[in-house]
Structure 1
Amino acid sequence: MKGRKIYFPRADKAWEETNDIRVNGYLNVLRFTKSTYHETAVSIALGGEIPYLKKNQFKRTRISPEKNLAYACGLYYEEYMFDSETEFIQNVIKNLKMRIVLVILYKNDANLGTEPVPVVCCGYDYDEDAFIIIDVQDGTTKNMNVEECSLFEGQNKLLMLNVPGMVNMKELEENYVISIATKLFIRRFFSFINAQVGDFCGISLFKYCLERGLKPIEIPGFQEHAKWQLQWLSYVMEYGNRIGSKELSLIQYIQQLYQAIGNDEYKKWLEVCLNEYNTNNR
Structure 2
Amino acid sequence: MASGQEPALVCSNVSRWFGGLHALKGVSVTIGRGDIFGLVGPNGSGKTTLVNAITGFYPPQEGSITFEGRRLNDLKPHHIARCGIARTFQNVALFRGMTVLDNILMGRHIFMNPNPLASLFYWWWAQREEIAHRRKVEEVIDLLQLESVRDEHVDVIPLGLQKRVELARALCAEPRFLVLDEPMAGMNQEEKEYMVRFILDAQEALGLTVLIIEHHMDVVTAICGRILVLNNGAAIAEGPAREAIADPQVVEAYIGKARDVA
TM-score (norm 2): 0.28
Q: Which has the higher helix share?
A: 1
Q: TM-score, normalised by structure 1?
A: 0.27
Q: Which has the larger radius of gyration?
A: 1
Bigger relative contact order, structure 1 or 2, given CA contacts below 8 A and separation 6+?
2
